[in-house]
Structure 1
């Protein structure tokens, strides 16, 4: 099923849910039952064939055809039993006993009593900035479920107790009432089909091929038909949270999480890894994180993070509504909240114990990565020293590299003069103009727009970045008064550049993986930036990089990144690759692919010129 058909089915499910919610839910349940019917029919067919063959053997009528049918039936029975007994891994993290967090367990008991929900069987503490509740099947496709609640230590640090409890009430809200039972059953069914499909992918038997064909038809339709139910379930869980803690608390928690999660991902981890420049041994992040997550976010960063969150629109890639829609449903204003002043760590009996535990785990897990990053930053410092020693002879490229390297060591280093000197040497140098636009004072909008104008006019390859940056600058009310003509002009430029970007992306993705490729053209600094990103992405064990030569845009730098992701299911691999396409530090668009069925690891090793990065043992 292509994306257009999937989106069409999602829209149909949304309309059906809006027109007749109960009828829609009955239809979803019936379609979910179709998957079970397939498994039961296969089981009945297998048992029937085996019984018939065994009976014929007793009558002395066994022959080659019956022998083949018996083998087929046994294979069918085995595959069906596998489907009926899908095993799931427990959540990551540490399971908490009641004595580890008595206040947390008491709060969960109160929430359960108020919404008359099922018990939470296991509570886990992990290192994620998140909280989630999962219902895993107890006996494969059939039977009851086990409820697992996972709470992230960073989330406990970021929110006060009431806001944290509103998050837990939201998660518990997924289990409430008859609607919750249907949603939970659908969720468990979806997990089961995903797990079964993954287990059958490496099986080349006749039954596996038949099941794969069925699930290729069934699962996209199942996901589309249940999409509205999952989206509706999120809103209902928000209403549960608002009813128990108040809509103001629920809305403030959503907004504070949106802003602080942006700071956590973009600022905290960059700053933490920057410590490797001075510290050869890995530093535990959670000790430093405690004070920083409970502190107010810098006003400029907070406003930009909130604006970015509010610009997002709900789509079919995620059943969670976006922040704007969730706040509107709660009838809460989209504004920065009063920040939490005291963390919810008091819900743990011994917070120091858990901070020390996760610090130790992080240091052990990232020891090798930290060592590599420390060595890389040492090389950057050496390069800075070399460029400083030849300051009077540096060309424009070297001046830009000098400035970029200094910013790599210290993100707030004052390197504006380096970029200005590069522009004196080579007027309209793209790298210097981009660097200057980034280092000019945020409030000096006129100067930044002038630099972006020069960059847009002089560098075709930089037009999309220049237009995107200018639009964001003109849309920022803190940067200056509203300028409608300028905003209209830059939006038109951004639209034109976006169209060119889309054509380039289509050429990258539509041509065969290994056609029109060459060895990468990254400088040592650019390659170091990429390796620094790869170090921080723990699922990646190896990575390859090739340049993609675009026929329509021969001047355009574009890349294909191949990554080896052992141990992850394909859905998580797909999601991670899409995330990496947005976050990897590369000087051009990049398609990220994992080593799997297509392309295979052997094809990558044969044609991608050797890995650019390999994770070493800790």
Structure 2
């Protein structure tokens, strides 16, 4: 939904590099478990390893900085002390590296934003902080900020000098959170956050906690520059981050338990357990009940309510026991995950030695008691920001609900006559319009008629998982067995479900299914979007009326000729695909509006591509040569003279001697027919003619003779050193490499193709180069 809607985002997540893929999670989990066992068996050895890893990252940065700065200073000294001025250019490189590194590390880190409160404006709030600090001997809080859009509390340390220096401690507390807990429960939360800053019995853990907080900022500063140093640190991060994260993860999670015990030391374990469960239950109720119900009002009201925040406060005070029980079931069903160092609520309650009890309804919130006169202005600001933030979503929800109302009205009075698919469609509409509970009976009715109806099983499983019911897994797995269409969406839901519950091994099975589907989709999209000479072009199949409409549009545009063909797609066989090649008059550059006009005039169904004619491009030549492809303007022959000679000679030889494969004895006659072209290539030293001769020999099956001609062409006397023939050497090398590959001489082919790996060449030649695959290995 909106950014102003209260969200409980984890504030202390693992540090993963950008290239940390899903299949690495199992390895990461095993490493975390190994660290847990090491910490239990030999705590001292475990702490030493964590300390060494924590310092390794800073040692890496310091070593690069000292080496580059030292090398630059030595080279400058040598240049000026011994009058070796040319050495200056070598001194610039390490100096620039040191400068880039210092600039990245000295980047200013912005403090958290929000409504800042002071001792003068909220004395009761600060007195609670002082009492908790005194009990825990914690570091001071330098600044307190109230965020009207966050259902969370956290301490953020902002260094005073770049990413280093003495940090200032900023306490960020969400106004929705303040209004959802009692003053005593807030004391526990304050004790928890101050426990991260306390030096009492947990000094080493808190140091690691601060290191984990600092590294994301350092890595963002070092990796976001887009320069040479960004690449160096990215490669280091890909190796370092998973190991440091796994080794420090155990301490970080233990630090959360320590922080809970610090909070319990302030107000007691019973209050702490109530605070943990109540905050999560109320947040779950807002996300799953309040916001969907509020947005359903968009069907009747054109404007979002101006008091949405106030309504959320009333909803927390009017929550029914049944709703509390449903939210508790979802909250307690969550399991501790590797995605966050915070344990799940059930584990935190167990660590405190408390059993879960339903939270009582709020009578007076911490915000009402501690904010004083500020509360009224903060609530007004929250109402204003929430209303502005959800305005766009409200408009979309209004349009959606109006369409839903029309569709729901179509089913009124005829529900009993619906079949299984009709009931399921109606259930989907009711779910979106009124909620899950109202849709569930319709899904059950559909399954009572046909127990193996895959779409109904899938929807029931999805609804069950949304309510924390594990039986939903069985429904979705059964739907995936019955219907191939359910496999990808089912795998996405189950992968998220199991990974959230730390069942990595089972979740990764579904992750692989999702990744395979994504790869197939990406490959199909690449096939649709790229037009290659090797594509299977076919007749466009348009009727006279469609062609006339297209020609009427083209008549108003400055185009000389247009060719239109269809295309068979291997990865999307059922999708119609059209390719139009447009030759503009007088070499004009087309505008986007003109290209859009051509696209709109093409058939409405299917995927459409418009490309500009390239006289040297293989795609243009192939399409322009197809019979029936020209739909507008005059025909043009885009072939070069050497291509024309080659094609005509090949056609003549086939007509004269038939198929070489069927009549190998006639191959000698075919070769004799091109002796005139061979003599021209030999005595005129024209590389184009020699290349045409070589390709003709390949077409006729004379691979040995073709290899000899290509060797001459790529030699010193081949004439390719003349700039009059751009791309000729690229074509010759790729053709030669393809010939050698067909003869199982890959090593020689690699030596021929590698020099062309970094050359600029047309897209058609690039496609041939990539198809060989030598450059990726080079």
Structures share a fold, TM > 0.5? Answer: yes
1:81–1:456: structure 2 CA closer, same or farther, 3 Å change rule?
closer
Q: Does 1:507 align with 2:516?
A: yes
Q: 1:68, 1:153 → 2: CA distance?
A: 57
Aligned to 1:186: 208
Aligned to 1:596: none
Whether contact under 8 Å (1:135, 1:184) holds in the other structure is no
Bigger drift between 242-251 and 272-281 goes to: 272-281
* CA drift at 1:305: 3.4
Q: 1:453, 1:84 → 2: CA distance?
A: 50
Aligned to 2:129: 108
Aligned to 1:616: none
Q: 1:333, 1:43 → 2: CA distance?
A: 53
1:180–1:210: structure 2 CA closer, same or farther, 3 Å change rule?
same
> 1:262 is matched with which residue: 263, 284, 304?
284
Aligned to 2:153: 131
Give RMSD over aligned pairs: 4.2
Q: Show the 5 A alignment for 1:58-457.
A: 58-62=80-84, 64=86, 66-126=87-147, 127-177=149-199, 180-283=202-305, 284-299=307-322, 301-345=323-367, 346-350=369-373, 351-388=375-412, 397-411=421-435, 430-431=454-455
Please list the CA deviations of residues 522-559 of structure 1 after superposition, one character each: whole Å capped at 9, or x if unmatched: xxxxxxxxxxxxxxxxxxxxxxxxxxxxx9xx9xxxxx
Aligned to 2:616: none
Bigger drift between 28-37 and 235-244 goes to: 28-37
Q: 2:476, 2:70 → 1: CA distance?
A: 73
Whether contact under 8 Å (1:276, 1:377) holds in the other structure is yes
* CA drift at 1:234: 0.7
Bigger drift between 326-335 and 304-313 goes to: 304-313
Please list the CA deviations of residues 299-324 of structure 1 after superposition, one character each: whole Å capped at 9, or x if unmatched: 3x433433443343334322112222
Q: 2:291, 2:297 → 1: CA distance?
A: 10
* CA drift at 1:175: 0.7
Q: 1:219, 1:240 → 2: CA distance?
A: 29
* CA drift at 1:459: 6.0
1:93–1:499: structure 2 CA closer, same or farther, 3 Å change rule?
closer
Q: 1:231, 1:110 → 2: CA distance?
A: 26
Aligned to 2:74: 52
Aligned to 1:15: 37
Q: 1:414, 1:228 → 2: CA distance?
A: 44
* CA drift at 1:247: 0.8
Q: 1:515, 1:337 → 2: CA distance?
A: 51
1:316–1:431: structure 2 CA closer, same or farther, 3 Å change rule?
closer
Q: 2:441, 2:336 → 1: CA distance?
A: 43
Aligned to 1:567: none
Whether contact under 8 Å (1:277, 1:409) holds in the other structure is no
Bigger drift between 178-187 and 135-144 goes to: 178-187
Three-state SS of the structure 2 residue aligned to 1:242 is: helix
Three-state SS of the structure 2 residue aligned to 1:57 is: helix
1:291–1:59: structure 2 CA closer, same or farther, 3 Å change rule?
same
Q: Show the 5 A alignment for 1:443-482.
A: none
1:108–1:389: structure 2 CA closer, same or farther, 3 Å change rule?
same
Whether contact under 8 Å (1:170, 1:238) holds in the other structure is yes
Q: 1:338, 1:4 → 2: CA distance?
A: 40
Three-state SS of the structure 2 residue aligned to 1:150 is: strand
Aligned to 2:674: none
Please list the CA deviations of residues 314-373 of structure 1 after superposition, one character each: whole Å capped at 9, or x if unmatched: 343221122222112111113334444322122111322211111101112222222222
Three-state SS of the structure 2 residue aligned to 1:98 is: coil
* CA drift at 1:504: 3.1
Q: 1:420, 1:143 → 2: CA distance?
A: 62
How many matched pairs?
Answer: 488
Q: 2:52, 2:172 → 1: CA distance?
A: 31
* CA drift at 1:389: 8.9
Bigger drift between 261-270 and 239-248 goes to: 261-270
1:36–1:201: structure 2 CA closer, same or farther, 3 Å change rule?
closer
* CA drift at 1:193: 3.0
* CA drift at 1:170: 0.8
Q: 1:392, 1:165 → 2: CA distance?
A: 56
* CA drift at 1:123: 0.9
1:385–1:239: structure 2 CA closer, same or farther, 3 Å change rule?
same
Which consecutive residues of structure 1, in runs of 5 or more, have no partner in the other structure? 470-496, 520-550, 555-618
**Greater RCO (CA < 8 Å, at least 6 residues apart):** 1
Whether contact under 8 Å (2:319, 2:361) holds in the other structure is yes
